[in-house]
Amino acid sequence: MVPDGDSLSAKFQADALSYLETSRSSNNPWTLVNHCQIVKTIFNVVRVCREETQSGVLSQGEELAEEMHEEHDLGALPCSSRDQDVNVEFHVIYSQTWQVPVMYFSAWTASGSPLSLDELKAVIKGGLPEIDEQFRTEYGMPVVSQQDHPVLGVPFFTIHPCQTAALLKELTAKSNDPALTPLMSWMSVMGTVFHPLPLINLSYFQR
Amino acid sequence: MQHIDSPVAQKLWDGQVPLRISLHPQDASALNASNYSCFSQYLSVHRFSYLPLIASEVRRFFVENTNLGFSGSDAEVWFECQGIPLKWHYPVGLLCDYQMADIDHSAGPLPWHITVHFLNFPADKLIRVSPDSSIPSIRDAFMSMVKEADFMRHGTIKKVMGLSKQDQTQLWDSLVSHSFEEFWHVNSQLLVSENTWPRYVPLRIYVPGLPVIQEPIPSIDEETDQPYTLRHVLASVLPQYFKPRADGDASRRGSVDSMKRAPDAVALLHGIEAPLGVPLVWLSQNCSYPDNFLHIVIRI
């Protein structure tokens, strides 16, 4: 017997490879880890109290983050005792159960201690700050919760996938662009939730 | 496929693990516990229960007997075995089977000796427990698995969502109060109806040191209409550890052919070796944990 997952995740892999191709033009592309997982790490995101500098760092990726880092070293930023470098990791893993991509995300300080959801929300600008662990999907599941990472076995935050399939159906029904895979539609939705993620090269859609 | 083998389900429901719980020396001295090395708590815990459900009992024991200076919440209590934090959202029986199967960290004979901590919750290794009360977190984790199992079997989670509010509450509450009848009154509504097969079988396979295996496993062979056995599944998912067919009769033993092949690994379920020839769907109906998953640990 062959578990049905093999053919399903093959489809994910094909979509992921085409997505990776698209993301290559950004300076922080995604990486394919295995047949059902793509990964992106954003290093040196500086957690600061000043809103305007933070969003600048987050939307423009690594290089600017390093510049910020220097500024940070000069002690130019306020509330320096709470400032820390954090690494934010985003993992997109194909769920064999729900048969949709699932976003796993987590962030760590330089000393390796993980950020709580509230702390993460200070780093991630986008739709995430509006949802917390009390929010429920219509199936009564917490929208955001910690789950064991399916590969690493350690806690990551995740958005519950029980409604992703319905969302994808709606998104792809409206599009007649064959290049727009379900994965890419879903990634663009995730991009609005996670602001530091330059998920999609917008010029791709403006052709 | 509705028929439930009640004696089997009842026996599994009543299964317990004897625990010996000791206080971690570092936490003990940080919290000024006295004579802590003289005290271990001995508890018999149901295999289908969860560690957060014993946290407050364990806290009381050590506060009363060792004057432990702990005034925090039960959400900060966590357990480990030989330095490895125990995942509180796994049923106790699964944790125990996993520890017994891990050759590098074998737990030794029963009672299962674990250590309790009251400080330094390892947030990098364990999911945080909601500080308000540890019970909603574990109930959420449990219901999340029940819904996932429903989705695997039926392709929707309508069976769970179709339960009345009271039945949904009763499913968890009956587990906490250990009421077999109340649990099955609700749980039987979640199983596949008579004369139908589940789309996929809710199954998780644990090999110490490897990521958990969870794949969509169909219940019957479409071509032959025969139900898959546990051996079919394990030989397909873990071909390095399980042969697709049982060894031949004794007369072949010692032949070059069978000597080349190592014996099958062991599939542990509820503390016993699961027979590999049993149909998976029967196992799923009768031997699943209350979260409706089969959690099978492989001992190599």
CATH number of B34's domain: 3.10.20.620
pLDDT of residue A62: 35
Tell whether the model's pLDDT for residue A101 goes beyond 80: yes
Tell whether the model's pLDDT for residue A67 goes beyond 80: no
Q: Assign A25 a pLDDT band (cuts: 50, 70, 90).
A: low
Tell whether the model's pLDDT for residue A188 goes beyond 50: yes
Does residue B197 sit within a domain? no
Which candidate, B101, B104, B109, B49, places its Cα nearest to that of B79? B49
Does residue B247 sit within a domain? yes
Q: Assign A24 a pLDDT band (cuts: 50, 70, 90).
A: low
Q: Does B282 touch chain A (CB under 8 A)?
A: no
Q: Catalytic residue positions of A?
A: 162
Which candidate, B272, B269, B266, places its Cα nearest to that of B293? B269
Tell whether the model's pLDDT for residue A58 goes beyond 50: no
Of B80, B95, B117, the position where a domain reaches its end is B117
For residues B61 and B42, the answer to whether their CB atoms sit within 8 Å is: no
pLDDT of residue A167: 80
In sequence order, the 6+-apart residues with CB closer than 8 A to the CB of B74 are: B52, B55, B56, B59, B133, B134
pLDDT of residue A119: 82
Which candidate, B44, B37, B53, places its Cα nearest to that of B18? B44
pLDDT of residue B251: 46
Instruction: Report how many Cβ contacts below 8 Å link chain A to chain B.
Output: 79
Total of domains in chain B = 2
Which candidate, B160, B130, B131, B163, places its Cα nearest to that of B146? B160
**A77/B35: higher pLDDT:** B35
For residues A26 and A45, the answer to whether their CB atoms sit within 8 Å is: no
pLDDT of residue B261: 63
Does residue B66 sit within a domain? yes
Boundaries of every domain in chain A: 5-50+82-202
Cross-chain CB nearest to A114 (options B124, B140, B157): B124
Does residue B217 sit within a domain? yes
**Chain A residues 3-42 with CB within 8 Å of chain B:** 3-5, 8
Does residue B290 sit within a domain? yes
Cα B187 to its chain centre, rounded Å, is 17
Does residue B176 sit within a domain? no
What value does the mean pLDDT of chain B take?
A: 89
C-beta atoms of B147 and A139 within 8 A = yes
Classified as helix, coil or strand, A92 is strand
Task: Give the domain range for residue B222.
Answer: 203-299
By CA distance, what is A96's nearest residue in B? B215
pLDDT of residue A82: 45
Is the ipTM reported for this complex over the cut 0.90?
no
Tell whether the model's pLDDT for residue A60 goes beyond 60: no
> What amino acid occupies position A166?
A
Distance from CA of A11 to the nearest CA of B (A): 15
Of B117, B133, B164, the position where a domain reaches its end is B117
Q: Which residues of B touch A142 (CB under 8 A)?
A: 140
Q: Assign A204 a pLDDT band (cuts: 50, 70, 90).
A: very low
Task: Give chain B's radius of gyration (CA, Å).
Answer: 21
Of B90, B117, B144, the position where a domain reaches its end is B117
Does residue B194 sit within a domain? no
Q: Does B126 touch chain A (CB under 8 A)?
A: yes
Does residue B89 sit within a domain? yes
pLDDT of residue A18: 75
pLDDT of residue A126: 65
Distance CA B186, CA A83 (A): 51
Determine the angle formed by the axes of helices A5-23 and A182-193, rounding to 10 degrees. 60
Q: Assign A164 a pLDDT band (cuts: 50, 70, 90).
A: confident
pLDDT of residue A28: 60
What value does the mean pLDDT of chain A take?
A: 66
pLDDT, mean of residues A8-32:
71
Q: Assign A130 a pLDDT band (cuts: 50, 70, 90).
A: low
Ranges in chain B, pLDDT < 50: 249-253, 255-256, 258-259
pLDDT of residue B245: 82
Classify A5-50+82-202 by CATH class: alpha beta
pLDDT, mean of residues A116-120:
83
What's the start-to-end Cα distance of chain B, in Å?
32
Q: Which range in A102-106, A148-152, B26-30 is most confidently predicted, on average pLDDT? A: B26-30
Cross-chain CB nearest to A4 (options B147, B151, B218): B218
Tell whether the model's pLDDT for residue A47 goes beyond 60: no
> What amino acid occupies position A20?
L
